[in-house]
Amino acid sequence: MPHLTIADVGSRKPEMAEKKKGWIKKGASKHPGLFAKKAERVGMTTREYAQKEKHAGGTLGKEANFAINAMGAAKKSPLYTHPRSRKD
């Protein structure tokens, strides 16, 4: 990957530097709660089930990895708050 020169950095617009927001909601909105229901069926929490199935192939493995990343993002990011943790 080529390195940015000072001219390149100076020419960047603020819009280019902003991170995309809403990527979690966009990725998970197709079937909200589906992975949690799968975990409930086998008698585990979502986190336990995700850790168990993170190396599974196909869609289940992708869902498990997404769940692990989304749970981590909720702890790390001040931009994202889980709907159940809001205090309205």
Higher pLDDT, 73 or 60: 60
Work out the number of other CB atoms within 10 angstroms of the CB of residue 63. 20
Rounded Cα gap, residues 19 and 71, in angstroms: 19
18-60 residue pLDDT tens: 666 666 666 666 777 889 999 999 999 999 999 999 999 998 9
Residue spans per domain, the chain? 34-78
Residue 71 pLDDT:
82
**pLDDT at 87 exceeding the cut of 60:** no
Q: What is the pTM of this model?
A: 0.56
Rounded Cα gap, residues 34 and 17, in angstroms: 34
Q: Which amino acid is at 80?
A: Y
